[in-house]
Amino acid sequence: MSPTRDGGLFLTLEGIDGAGKSSHLDALEARFKAQGRTVVRTREPGGTPLAETLRALVLEQPMTPLTESLLVFAARCEHIAQVIEPALARGEVVLCDRFTDATFAYQGAGRGFDTAVLSTLEQWVQAGRAGLPAAQLLQPQFTLWFDLAPEIAAQRLAGARVPDKFEAQPVEFFRRVAQGYADRATADASRFVRIDASQARDQVWQQIDTALVARGVLSQVQGAAQ
């Protein structure tokens, strides 16, 4: 486990739409609280009133990939300053539904947008934050990557709700996004924890719990929350 300077823990959940990552946030929050940790649960884009407004624009309005990327990082800048940094400084656990990996997967791999530009925006927004050295990026200590075949994810999403503009994309788009996540995981293997999201919900939770116990993030308990 690699805590921040002040003892906070930054944990993110990533994966394509339909992978089921958000359904395990309740159990994760309960596990940390059972260990006496204070938990801040949030999401991206979003997490602050302004960032939620930008989220609505990103999810619903047509725009160029550059505009989309700028709005995502603008929301992230507010989110870090208003929510993530203060929570980590207090030594709390931040559980975030998506972070910068999603930008490289969706806008980079999915949209085909220039990843060099994304890297520049990442430096502007995330370098030297939360008490880190000026050149170091604020990143999660651990990222749970819910890996699922896009075809299965599409079946899960079918008819679930009115899709936003990303959920309405064809399967080929999500194949690119999934590969984008795989590339990020390969490049930062020590941070990523791959979760086989094709399994039943209780089996997926067991993977999460076992992996985080093995990495010293959670302690072993009997009757873990499901």
pLDDT digits (tens, 9 = 90+) for 4-38: 445 899 999 999 998 999 999 999 999 999 999 99
Q: Is the pLDDT of residue 199 over 70?
A: yes
Residue 95 tokens read as 């559980």
Q: Which residues pair with 15 in a beta bridge?
A: 146
Q: Are strands 142-147 and 39-43 parallel, antiparallel or unpaired?
A: unpaired
**More confidently predicted of 33 and 167:** 33
Between CA 207 and CA 92 the distance in angstroms is 23
The answer to whether 195 and 144 are in contact (CB under 8 A) is yes
Q: Is the pLDDT of residue 221 over 80?
A: no
Predicted TM-score (pTM) of this structure: 0.91
The confidence score (pLDDT) of residue 161 equals 65
Between CA 108 and CA 111 the distance in angstroms is 6
* Binding-site residue set for ATP: 15-22
Residue 225 tokens read as 């929350």
* Binding-site residue set: 15-22
